[in-house]
Amino acid sequence: MNDALNTIIEQAKHHKIYVIVGTPTIEDDVRYNGAVVIGDDGDVKTRYAQLAVDGTDLFRPGQDAKSLWFDLKGVRSIVTVGNDANWVEIGDLAANRGMYMHFHISYEFDASLDKSVLRKQRNLLALRCGGYGVTVNAADPTGLQQPSGPAGEISMIVSREGGHNQSAPKRVECYLPYQTSIVESAGKGPTMIVATRRTCSTNDMDLRRFWRNQDRRQGGLPERYDWISIGAALIHGDDRP
């Protein structure tokens, strides 16, 4: 596994691209599921251990929220894996600490219509607080009993576009003014999807200035603001304020 990762690192440096790889890791005889982010210089930007693990027989949940974070060309970004998408608070709290780009990787193999619709909506909600995001379902590995190929149409590039009473912007596949819009999505087969957007270095959901948090703080739910404030510090790996 280390040899395969080293090969990917060499290719990332050679082609000057960022790469996010889903991979398990073992530390002190404890197995974690997670992701490695490799920069265009070949350096490992972060090694993330999945926080939200469904069951603990195979993997233990990670304990380091700070490993979510990395900079992509100066843009504050996070990476999440699998069932992390069930916890929309991860993206919400990270956005309050400046997260602009959110990358989510998964391995889904249930091809039923109900599951497909649920997964797409879940991922849209999980990525809705970032300015720009990507969710990718793993490629179909040959020989596995439960290949991910049949559960296609889950990979997509999303962006926060438009808003209330605003018309659909150009170059958007599915415009959703009240949550994250789908810029480009993949079909059932192996597909490369590409989109271009101008980005900011950080999100505009500043903890103190963002209108939603001001309403919480000044209105009838001050404890909600306190929860957001504490959670935003913890998700960033800071000490509790």
pLDDT per residue as tens, the chain (241 positions) = 788 899 999 999 999 999 999 988 888 888 999 999 999 999 999 999 999 988 767 888 998 899 999 999 999 999 999 999 999 889 988 988 889 999 999 988 887 888 888 888 899 999 988 889 999 988 777 677 777 877 777 899 999 888 888 888 888 999 988 888 999 998 777 778 898 888 888 877 666 566 566 666 666 667 777 777 788 888 887 765 4
pTM for the complete prediction? 0.89
> At 156, which helix (H) or strand (E)?
strand 156-159
Please state the three-class secondary structure of 25-64 as a single string. Answer: EEECCEEEEEEEEECCCCCEEEEEECCCCCCCCCCCCCCC
Each domain of the chain, given as residue ranges in start order, spans 24-36+47-205
At 80 the pLDDT is 96
C-alpha separations of 41 from 140, 144, 223 in Å: 28, 33, 44
Which residues touch 157 (CB under 8 Å, ≥6 apart)?
A: 132, 133, 134, 182, 183, 184, 185, 193, 194, 195
At 100 the pLDDT is 92
At 144 the pLDDT is 77
At 201 the pLDDT is 84
Q: Residue 92 CB: number of other CB atoms within 10 A?
A: 21
What DSSP character marks residue 173? S
Buried residues in 160-170 as b, exposed as e (16+ CB within 10 A):
bbbeeeeeeee
Structure tokens at 24: 């398990």
At 216 the pLDDT is 64
